[in-house]
């Protein structure tokens, strides 16, 4: 990466409200190619909302979102602000694959069909090539043997790994994870953490909303601590976790870090 290479995702002065409730109060986030950014903070701090705004699943009222140097175009302002170019939004979303907390797999499709669906219907790719890629990604996340099973036949950890394979099959520029392990018990959680760590080691660009401080410490290049819709503190994980500068972060870490 050179100095001239734009970040994969750059968010500047982002504001988001639901009615009179201001959830994001001017947030800046940058994710460079090959970097992992983790968002941490208490429930209600704005982490998941920020991720949904980054993927344009939610409309923000103010601020800039820039993908690979291309700014999102808007029309209107404030509560009436909406994306101005539908084709641009589709193009950006296909390059930002999101992995949700609750898996969001199609119950009536096999795991292989779930992984293949978006590349076939959205990207119009060749079926044989998509199937070959999908089987490869299922193997990468350790569930190649579950290709013909249905979601209900899998454990939560296996379903989340299938969701990660589905995201990878879009061959995105970046992966967005919204609390990918919070719905899992500790044993199944580690299955998913192992996959995310492997993706980080490959140099995947990722933004991860997580409650797992150990994972945030181990996989991140940069950690952002959000508090009440603002960035309270941020930095390299080794520094942030070992030497917090604010009382709020110290309190948060003392409550969430394992002894």
CATH 3.40.50.300: does it fit domain 1-95+174-259?
yes
Q: Which pLDDT score is estimated for 187?
A: 84
Please state the rounded mean pLDDT for residues 202-223.
94
What is the mean pLDDT of the segment spanning 120-139?
96
Evaluate if residue 204 carries a pLDDT over 70. yes
Percent of the chain residues topping a pLDDT of 90: 90
pLDDT at 103: 87
Task: Note the pLDDT of residue 241.
Answer: 95
Contact 103, 163 (CB under 8 A): yes
DSSP label at residue 146: G
- Higher pLDDT among residues 259 and 151, named by residue: 151
Does residue 45 register a pLDDT over 80? yes
Strand pairing class (82-83; 74-75): antiparallel
User: What mean pLDDT, rounded, does the chain reach?
Assistant: 94
Domain boundaries, the chain: 1-95+174-259, 103-171
For 76, 110, 161, the CA distances from 151, given in Å and listed in that order, are 41, 7, 11
pLDDT in tens, 213-227: 999 999 999 999 999
1 pLDDT above the threshold of 50: no
- Pairing mode, strands 9-18 and 62-67: antiparallel
For residue 182, the model assigns a pLDDT of: 86
The pLDDT value recorded for residue 248 is 95
Taking 60 as the threshold, does the pLDDT of residue 3 lie above it? no
Q: pLDDT per residue over 93-122, tens digit each?
A: 999 999 998 889 999 999 999 999 999 999
Residue 240 has pLDDT above 90, yes or no: yes
DSSP per-residue codes, 91-129: HHHHTEEEE-TT----TTS-HHHHHHHHHHHTS---HHH
Q: Examine the pLDDT at 2 and tell me if it is beyond 50.
A: no
What pLDDT does 195 receive?
94
H-only helix segments in the chain: 47-54, 86-94, 111-121, 127-140, 156-169, 186-201, 213-219, 237-242, 247-256
**Please, which pLDDT band fits residue 258 given cuts at 50, 70 and 90?**
low
Q: What percent of the chain has pLDDT over 70?
A: 98
The model's pTM is 0.93
In this prediction, residues 122-132 reach a mean pLDDT of: 96
């Amino acid at each position: 990466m050179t100095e001239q290479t734009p970040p994969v995702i750059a968010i500047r002065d982002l504001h988001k409200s639901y009615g009179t409730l201001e959830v994001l109060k001017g947030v800046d986030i940058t994710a460079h190619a090959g970097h992992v950014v983790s968002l941490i903070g208490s429930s209600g701090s704005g982490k998941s909302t920020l991720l949904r705004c980054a993927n344009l699943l939610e409309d923000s009222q103010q601020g800039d979102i820039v993908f690979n140097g291309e700014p999102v175009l808007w029309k209107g302002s404030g509560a009436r602000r909406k994306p101005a170019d539908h084709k641009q939004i589709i193009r950006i979303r296909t390059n930002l694959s999101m992995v949700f907390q609750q898996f969001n797999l199609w119950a009536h499709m096999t795991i292989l069909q779930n992984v293949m669906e978006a590349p076939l219907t959205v990207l119009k790719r060749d079926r044989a090539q998509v199937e070959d890629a999908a089987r490869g990604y299922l193997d990468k996340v350790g569930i190649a043997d579950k290709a013909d099973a249905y979601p209900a036949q899998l454990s939560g950890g296996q379903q989340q790994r299938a969701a990660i394979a589905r995201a990878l099959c879009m061959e995105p520029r970046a992966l967005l994870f919204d609390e990918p392990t919070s719905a899992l018990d500790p044993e199944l959680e580690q299955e998913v953490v192992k996959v995310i760590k492997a993706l980080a080691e490959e140099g995947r660009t990722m933004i991860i909303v997580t409650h797992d401080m150990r994972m945030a410490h181990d996989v991140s290049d940069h950690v952002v601590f959000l508090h009440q819709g603002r960035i309270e503190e941020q930095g390299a994980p080794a520094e942030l976790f070992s030497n917090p500068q604010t009382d709020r972060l110290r309190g948060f870490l003392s409550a969430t870090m394992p002894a």
